[in-house]
Amino acid sequence: MSSKLEALQRWVDEVAALTRPAQIHWCDGSDAEYQQLVQQMLRTGDLIELNQQTHPGCYLHRSNPSDVARVEHLTFVCTVEEDAAGPNNHWMAPAEAHAKMDALFDGCMEGRTMYVIPYCMGPIDSPLARCGVEITDSPYVVANMRTMTRMGAAAQARIEREGRFVKGLHSTGELDPERRFIMHFPEELTIKSYGSGYGGNALLGKKCHALRIASFQAKSEGWLAEHMLIVGIENPRGETHYIAAAFPSACGKTNLAMLIPPEGYRQDGWKVWTVGDDICWMRPGADGRLYAINPEAGYFGVAPGTSTATNPNALSTIARDTIFTNVAVTADNQPWWEGLPGTPVTDWQGRPYDPANGPAAHPNSRFTVSARQCPTWSPRAEDAQGVPISAIVFGGRRPSLIPLVFEAKDWKHGVLVGAAMGSETTAAATGAVGVLRRDSMAMKPFAGYHYGDYFRHWLSFDQPGAKLPKIFHVNWFRKGEDGRFLWPGYGDNLRVLEWMIDRVEGRAAGNETPIGTVPAKGELKVDDLALDGATLDTLLDVDHAGWTAELAAIGDYLQSFGGRMPDALHAEQQRVAKALDTAAIAS
């Protein structure tokens, strides 16, 4: 055994001594191993077989009703210096966190199998990829990690070559919400998660490694780990531009990643290629451009809201070989959630469906499926060097003020635009309408260190010789006075992406405003849409008074991060505020 593999074996031995499992299984990622796990979980009831005629290879998992989502208040970043974690994270001193977690892990795997999962985030031969090992007592986690990562023998061979990996220790414990913590130790490249079997808390390669730990790694190594989809837009000339886009939840991220062009665009030869739907790792290439990989190999998507109207590609993707979590079931044993045809007979908890108990499928119910099953999957998702990014898009759910699309003046302005992004809550979500929650770069729950340092890191990419992507902001959710959305959305969002590509290629002049460049008259192709000129004017309107108030609020938000916030970002906020004042005086 090589010394590098010995270090892994030593850690596994230490964990086994602490958790005391009945047996240890080293995962190889093979089909046979997966089938064995499935059969085992069918016997224990951890999985339920769905209709194999309509959904071959598909199974249902029901989690504990107290364990259905990420738990931000129990998620900690444990850095030596408290200030390094920042006000955007919950902090605990590393020594205290280790002691708390090790007390929970003590003997927790007695009578259980301990699974050792070597995995690679990103194409196995990519210099941008990073490896990890998750130790868990959950066969459900093993099955999901096989779909979501490059898991098994090839990853273990890479770990043996490199000798460096992220350590993740997980146990479902007793699934007691009072004994549930997710701890991140970025300086040690270590994750400890106890008491949850839910995706983001238990599949440690996902948010824990690929965002919280990776963002910290990226800062020290000169790259970016971001909560972004990656989509390729191919025009009728056969040229493909790749776009990375960050949105908070409920803003149509997966729908955009798997976008279907409008009929006229399809006839003209436009195509959409899905590289990733959730996480994007970017680094500068030799030519000064940013190149991106999707570190994941699968989708862990939200089921409700996925339908033939919103995302037929996603529905097609999950028709086979998929694990569904917390969805409802029909009389003929098909998975069901709100938005699908048919009628549920059993809800997500396995009870006879009764509307009085709430939705049939849990609002955060999920599907886990291989990315390769997506009809628009891009073979370039496996490119070792990644795909070149032409544009970065930020967006949020704002019923007013924010135009359909605008382009930042330059990289520094783009970082401010990303820092300021947010969404207004809906009554369905919180009971309080119109509360603006800022979620900078959609990374608020996921940046593994102080937001001020994070923005500084973003600014550092603006170097001589850099050919950085243009940065845009979109808002698909602007409403008219009648409360209806002004923009049709879904496939028609390609019209906005086309304008961005025209800007990247220098074909659209745009209309400069104090907040950035919006499309000039005639530049957005909307001739075949039932959209009158006045509606389009409203969608692209820049209200100076409203934006002056918005810039003041953005200034307050930046101040809330204290002395670590870069002066350059304060100065940029003041530049835009002054430009608004000047424009208001002129008008």
Indicate the pTM of the whole model: 0.97
Centroid of chain to Cα 420? 18
Annotated catalytic residue within 58, 251, 280, 374: 251
Contact by Cβ (8 Å): 131, 164: yes
The answer to the question of whether 249 is labelled as a binding residue is yes
DSSP letters for 136-186:
ES-HHHHHHHHHHSEESHHHHHHHHHH---EEEEEE-TT--GGG-EEEEEG
Domain 226-297+380-586 has CATH 3.90.228.20: yes
564: Cβ–Cβ under 8 A, 6 or more apart, which residues? 83, 86, 450, 452, 453, 456
Q: Boundaries of CATH 3.90.228.20 in the chain?
A: 226-297+380-586
The answer to the question of whether 475 is labelled as a binding residue is no
The answer to the question of whether 265 is labelled as a binding residue is no
pLDDT tens by residue, the chain, 587 residues: 677 788 999 999 999 999 999 999 999 999 999 999 999 999 999 999 999 999 999 999 999 999 998 899 999 999 999 999 999 999 999 999 999 999 999 999 999 999 999 999 999 999 999 999 999 999 999 999 999 999 999 999 999 999 999 999 999 999 999 999 999 999 999 999 999 999 999 999 999 999 999 999 999 999 999 999 999 999 999 999 999 999 988 788 999 999 999 999 999 999 999 999 999 999 999 999 999 999 999 999 999 989 998 899 999 999 999 999 999 999 999 999 999 999 999 999 999 999 999 999 999 999 999 999 999 999 999 999 999 999 999 999 999 999 999 999 999 999 999 999 999 875 444 456 678 999 999 999 999 999 999 999 999 999 999 999 999 999 999 999 999 999 999 999 999 999 999 999 999 999 999 999 999 999 999 989 989 999 999 999 999 999 999 999 999 999 999 999 999 999 999 999 999 999 988 87
- Rounded to whole angstroms, the Cα distance separating 526 from 519 reads 12
CATH superfamily of 299-368: Phosphoenolpyruvate Carboxykinase, domain 2 (2.170.8.10)
Amino acid symbol at 371: A
Q: What is the CA radius of gyration of the chain?
A: 24
27 is catalytic: no
The answer to the question of whether 198 is labelled as a binding residue is yes
The answer to the question of whether 563 is labelled as a binding residue is no
Partners of 300 in the beta sheet? 368
The answer to the question of whether 374 is labelled as a binding residue is no
Burial (CB count within 10 angstroms: exposed 0-12, middle 13-18, buried 19+), residue 218 = buried
Q: Boundaries of CATH 2.170.8.10 in the chain?
A: 299-368
E-strand ranges in 36-112 read: 48-49, 59-61, 75-77, 90-91
The answer to the question of whether 578 is labelled as a binding residue is no
CA atoms within 13 A on the CB side of 402: 24
Side by side, which strands form the sheet with 335-336? 335-336, 328-330, 344-346
The answer to the question of whether 491 is labelled as a binding residue is yes
Amino acid symbol at 416: L
Report in angstroms the alpha-carbon separations of 283 from 222, 279, 361, 473: 7, 14, 39, 21
CATH superfamily of 3-47+71-221: Phosphoenolpyruvate Carboxykinase, domain 1 (3.40.449.10)
Contact by Cβ (8 Å): 487, 539: yes
Q: Boundaries of CATH 3.40.449.10 in the chain?
A: 3-47+71-221
The answer to the question of whether 252 is labelled as a binding residue is yes
Nearest to 373 by CA among 295, 299, 294: 299
Helix (H, G, I), strand (E, B) or coil at 265: helix
Amino acid symbol at 418: G
The answer to the question of whether 199 is labelled as a binding residue is yes
Q: Locate 293 and state its tokens.
A: 């990989």
